[in-house]
Structures are given as structure tokens and as C-alpha cells.
Amino acid sequence: MIILASKSKARNEMLKNAGLEFTSQPAELDEEELILQHKKAGKKTAEIAQMLAVEKARSISLQHKDALVIGSDQILECEGQLLTKAENKEQALEKLNFLKGKTHRLISAVALCKNGEMIWQDKGEAFLSMINGDDAFFKRYVQQAGEALTRSVGAYELESIGVQLFEKIEGDYFTILGMPLLKLLSRLREEGISI
């Protein structure tokens, strides 16, 4: 039995489209508090992303003995700042105004846990250069983007109109969507799990 410890639409679709049989059960963690604690402890961005992925998988794994639980998380870093999901359109517009004309880094981490123990983890990175559009462009985007504004850490989803925000992208597409899928599938095959 495989469980994805996430309610992320993108992560669920990735696994479904890859032909995996799994169920979803979101982990109930105070991510903001965990991030704050790890930042205070001097942890690097990639370490924080990995920690969140492991903690999500571990929390669900403790509830479902013998299940293989996938945890995944994504962190956005720009100019040394870690950005989290916007709560509303206004916050999303503020975030986009901060990101415009700059290159930010997305780190997507993934972990596998069984019986409460982490058995594997990995990560992927991508660099995205946002256009330096005018205020009217970004306001139009915010009006049309819908739930992507609060559903994703960057206030965009690359698989929809969010692609309009970028002039250059370096990195794996699945990592940008929220999980280094190819690395995960490779590990799952080692566990004897495939389509």
C-alpha cells in the first residue's frame, strides 16, 4: 500500500499520471512553525525542504503500519528569503511584485517512510527567471490565476497561465510542479513498485 502524505493537486496528478496506485492522506503539520524553528537553528533552504518532506511522510507512516508513505514539500528562495504560500490575492500580488524581474530557486524534496522510519530521501532544484512586467500585467494575472495564487508557494502553476510569468526556466519540470518525480519513480522501482 502506498500513501501520498499530501493534498497537493499537482503531486496527486503526477503520481496518478505515472500509473501508480495510491491513496492520499494529507499530513497535519504546523509547517510555518517547523520552518521557523529550522531557520533559527541555521538550517539551509534545502535542509528545510527535506525536513518537511520527511516529517510529512513520517507522521502518516506512524498511523499506517507497513504502508510506504511518500512525503514531499517545496520551498521557494529568492535573495536569501524563504517565501511561503500566500493566504489571499493581496499577498499573492505582493509576492509577485517581489519576484518580478528576479530569478528564484525552487527546491522540491521527497521522502519515503515505512513504520515511522525514513528509508529514502532526495531533492531537486530549479531556477525560474520571472519577467519584469508592468503593474497592469500582474494585476491581470492575479485576476485570472484563481486558486493557483494560494495553492502554490510561488503564486503560480507552471502547467497553466503561470507560465506567462517567466522568461527563462532551468530545471526539471516535475521538480517545478512540486516533486522530483523521476528520482521517486526510480526509487519505487527499486522497492518493486511500478505501473
Known catalytic residue at 73:
yes
Q: How far apart are CA 30 and CA 21, in angstroms?
A: 28
At 118 the three-state DSSP class reads strand
Helix residue ranges per DSSP H, the chain: 9-17, 31-40, 45-61, 89-99, 135-145, 148-151, 173-177, 181-190
| Biggest CA pair distance of the chain | 53
Catalytic residue among 30, 66, 73, 134: 73
List residues with catalytic annotation. Answer: 73
